[in-house]
Structure 1
Amino acid sequence: MSHKRIPKRKAAIAVGGVAALGAAALLLPNANASQDSGTSGASVKTFKADDASDLASQLQNLLGDAFAGSYYDAASKQLVVNVVPGDNNNVIVQAKKAGAAVREVDNSLAELAAGAKTLKAEATIPGTAWAVDPKTNKILVTADSTVTGSKWDTLESTVQGLGSNMATIKKSAGTFKTFVSGGDAIFGGGARCSLGFNVTAGDGSPAFLTAGHCGVAAKTWSDTQDGQPIATVDQATFPGDGDFALVKYDDPATVAPSEVNVGGGKTVQIAQAEEATVGTQVFRMGSTTGLNDGTVLGLDATVNYPEGTVTGLIQTDVCAEPGDSGGSLFTQAGGAVGLTSGGSGDCTAGGETFFQPVTTALTAVGATLGAGDAAGGAGDQAGGAGDQAGGAGDQAGGDAVGGDQAGGDAVGGDQAGGDAVGGDQAGGDAVGGDQAGGDAVGGGDTGTGTGTGDNTGTGDGTGTGTADDSGATQSQ
């Protein structure tokens, strides 16, 4: 996908060329209602990941000090809530009535936070990171390939000093670094990054979020290499309490819709900012590697980069490479979750990647997602149908969009089954070319499909889509 100058009146999220769409999978929203899972304990229910995240936030407030974290079990589609032993039977009963699976654990959130504080005081070593893992009810400590000799000994002894049931430690084959590079996408001072999410600044002006280490690398940014600047950094935090920057568009007339460009002419509408939940599937878009997916592994992560320590991040197994910094992390239902910070590895070997939570960044810079006349179903949308960004592309009443699909709750590119992003897909509610099943409309490599959009907007509008046989690879 080549980069084009952002028009004066419209600035879509410019996240760069899509190197490989087919590697990622993207669900679109299913029915909102939870249902009984049939497991032991009749009140345990199954949830969509986004609904589980909402319930987890509510139960954290309900349980108070008894709450020791939660995670989403993707296999059973259940929300698992940790509680510490104590006189809290009443609130546990309420949590179970809400449909959560409740389990007793040894470590409270306060004890885990104290352990992280000890790690910070005694083992702040470049190339190390730690995050709370509610699945194990421990702190997950990771050391990259540079942590050897006395550095490793210090880290290992500190972890052991926390107690056998408090933390685990593992080695990473790569090196922790921020994913900024020279190249294409958004450019500033010889650096290349990726735009995260369009926002409205506190003074009402159009702006976008990206990584803080991008914001401190250059003051002005362009959408073409060596091009004229289109935006100027207003605020940037890195290192320290986060990795985020607010960059204001220079033209105050710019309309910056709340959507992510996932390549192939398809977009996903971003409806709200939401907290990450361990165990949920998330999707990252970046200018180097395009669209990739993975799972949230830990929260409140501390990462010791060569440039300094950054706290409060999200740890995932989504891959990333230089140039992806600042790119958007989002959910199946269009929830803005994070901004790409850094990590180890690449999209060939894999690795760990850390993200700045969007909710924290928005609060810190005083911004809100989207533009007043572009978000919430306005702008280029028509009553929830047609060429809209609520599920990326041309929709027809089903839960999906994309080229070359043969079913399956999906968007775009060369996949052969499952809830996915990518064409040539087999199985379930989809819209696009080359379809052979599911609640779908479409046909042929060059055929068109029409249908009723029913998942975003304000009404039952209709739209038309042309299948363009978009495949796994898009040119940059």
Structure 2
Amino acid sequence: MKHRRTTRRQAAAAGGAAVALLGAAVTFQSANASDDVERFEVKTLSATAAGNLASSLGERLDATDSAGAYYDAESRTLVVNVVDEEAAETVRRAGGRARVVEHSLAELKSARETLKDRATMPGTSWAVDPVTNKVVVTADRTVQGASWERLTRVVEGLGGKAELKRSAGAFKPFVAGGDAITTGGGRCSLGFNVLRDGRPHFLTAGHCGQAGSTWSAGQGGTPFGTMVDSRFPGDDFALVRYDRDVSRPSAVNLYNGTGQRITRAADAAVGMRVVRSGSTTQVSDGRVTGLDATVNYGDGQIVEGLIQTDVCAEPGDSGGSLFADDAAIGLTSGGSGDCTNGGVTFFQPVTEALAAYGARIG
């Protein structure tokens, strides 16, 4: 039988200094850890391998035992938040670095539900930040007056489980970014070439168009594809079927005369270094800062399950590729700011889109 609550109180009693060290991703051993920790080797991992390990451990750990994970790029290790020593041993056996925290994933998800019920308003987003072990709520510049006061009260009511931040820009889908693709008067970007039922297609953002719309490589160009499905809001991905025989390498344009070959899809991990390619601002890079983010673009356009990053993007970059080395990670959805001042940008996980369409990278 597990004695979770007792173990958790013992871990909390280790003191604030230990928690401070954890926030900096410094090697941590629980007050209850004993010498058994030395029996397990912490694996050195690439960012994508860490993402895969995080997904595997997420299936094995209960939401009341764990609280997310993040990639420590300096040590190249996966740090997994847990609330008791039994879960910590599961992490160590798998090669991860266990970190005992105060709030479980179930508690943080409950905080998200409170935000959804009491603070859903345009110009806001929230995502679990495993580094701080909190739900980070971000309000853009349009959240003012009574809305700001209500949001502040709700976040304060969640105590240490949430914190409130400001974004200088306004959240919006990047309508209007890889290679440019156009339909009618709109421009977006191609995400990744894929195969579905043996036929060539590509992924882009759902908010870029509707099923039945035709797409070309430039304004006024001959259409080469038809959008067969579009999902937005809720999700933000779409599938376009190639109708003509055109060059369609499994690669991302780096806008320097070369391309990055893409051979697979992978899940994101907090702390992972990622690169974005889009037709407006071309190539930018940064880090994943949150997972399973909810963003409210206004006018009822709420999207859930997004990857939150500090990578910049601008209108026209929508649908464009987010990748890490040869792995497809996401499709550009929207955000705030620009590539002069920076901001927050959200991406649709590509693994979800592939699963929905029964497609694969290719």
TM-score (structure 1 length as normaliser): 0.65
User: Structure 1 61/71 Cα, relative in aligned 2: closer, same or farther at 3 Å?
Assistant: same
Describe how 1:267-278 pairs up with structure 2 within 5 A.
267-278=259-270
Checking the alignment, whether the CA contact within 8 Å between 1:131 and 1:300 is kept in structure 2 is yes
Matching residue within 137, 144, 150 for 2:146: 150
Describe how 1:83-102 pairs up with structure 2 within 5 A.
83-85=82-84, 89=86, 91-102=87-98
1:31 corresponds to: none
1:383-423 CA distance string (max 9 Å, x none): xxxxxxxxxxxxxxxxxxxxxxxxxxxxxxxxxxxxxxxxx
1:262 corresponds to: 254
2:323 corresponds to: 330
Matching residue within 105, 110, 125 for 1:109: 105
Describe how 1:347-366 pairs up with structure 2 within 5 A.
347-366=339-358
1:103-151 CA distance string (max 9 Å, x none): 1112222221121112111111110000111111111100000000011
After TM superposition, the runs of 4+ consecutive aligned structure 1 residues lying more than 4 A away are 37-42
* Partners of 2:153 and 2:305 in 1: CA distance: 24
2:23 corresponds to: none
Matching residue within 304, 313, 321 for 2:306: 313
1:61 corresponds to: 59
SS in 2 for 1:322: coil
Checking the alignment, whether the CA contact within 8 Å between 2:229 and 2:240 is kept in structure 1 is yes
SS in 1 for 2:163: strand
1:81 corresponds to: 80
Describe how 1:31-430 pairs up with structure 2 within 5 A.
42=38, 43-65=41-63, 66-85=65-84, 89=86, 91-162=87-158, 164-181=159-176, 185-201=180-196, 203-216=197-210, 219-240=213-234, 242-251=235-244, 253-254=245-246, 256-307=248-299, 308-332=301-325, 334-370=326-362
* AA matched with 2:233: P
Checking the alignment, whether the CA contact within 8 Å between 2:292 and 2:305 is kept in structure 1 is yes
* Partners of 1:54 and 1:237 in 2: CA distance: 26
358-367 vs 206-215, greater mean Cα deviation: 358-367
* Partners of 2:149 and 2:103 in 1: CA distance: 25
Identical counterparts, % of pairs = 57
* Partners of 1:250 and 1:38 in 2: CA distance: 54
* Partners of 2:246 and 2:187 in 1: CA distance: 22
Checking the alignment, whether the CA contact within 8 Å between 1:215 and 1:235 is kept in structure 2 is no
What's the offset of the Cα at 1:193? 0.4
What's the offset of the Cα at 1:306? 2.2
Checking the alignment, whether the CA contact within 8 Å between 1:67 and 1:81 is kept in structure 2 is yes
Checking the alignment, whether the CA contact within 8 Å between 1:199 and 1:256 is kept in structure 2 is no
Higher Cα Rg, which structure: 1
What's the offset of the Cα at 1:98? 3.2
Checking the alignment, whether the CA contact within 8 Å between 1:179 and 1:325 is kept in structure 2 is yes
Checking the alignment, whether the CA contact within 8 Å between 1:212 and 1:237 is kept in structure 2 is yes
TM-score (structure 2 length as normaliser): 0.85
Checking the alignment, whether the CA contact within 8 Å between 1:188 and 1:218 is kept in structure 2 is no
Checking the alignment, whether the CA contact within 8 Å between 2:28 and 2:99 is kept in structure 1 is no
User: Structure 1 55/159 Cα, relative in aligned 2: closer, same or farther at 3 Å?
Assistant: same
* AA matched with 1:49: A
User: Structure 1 38/151 Cα, relative in aligned 2: closer, same or farther at 3 Å?
Assistant: closer
Aligned residues between the structures: 325
Name the one with the larger helix percent. Answer: 2
What's the offset of the Cα at 1:61? 2.6
* AA matched with 2:341: A
User: Structure 1 38/278 Cα, relative in aligned 2: closer, same or farther at 3 Å?
Assistant: closer
203-212 vs 47-56, greater mean Cα deviation: 47-56
Checking the alignment, whether the CA contact within 8 Å between 2:211 and 2:229 is kept in structure 1 is no
What's the offset of the Cα at 1:270? 1.0
What's the offset of the Cα at 1:284? 0.3
* AA matched with 2:210: V
What's the offset of the Cα at 1:217? 9.3
1:209-265 CA distance string (max 9 Å, x none): 00000023981111011112111110001112x1000011112x4563321121222
SS in 1 for 2:151: helix
Q: Which runs of 5+ in 2 are unaligned?
A: 1-25, 30-36
* AA matched with 2:72: D
What's the offset of the Cα at 1:189? 1.7
User: Structure 1 116/356 Cα, relative in aligned 2: closer, same or farther at 3 Å?
Assistant: same
Checking the alignment, whether the CA contact within 8 Å between 2:66 and 2:105 is kept in structure 1 is yes
* AA matched with 1:226: G
What's the offset of the Cα at 1:44? 2.9
SS in 1 for 2:61: helix
* AA matched with 1:149: G
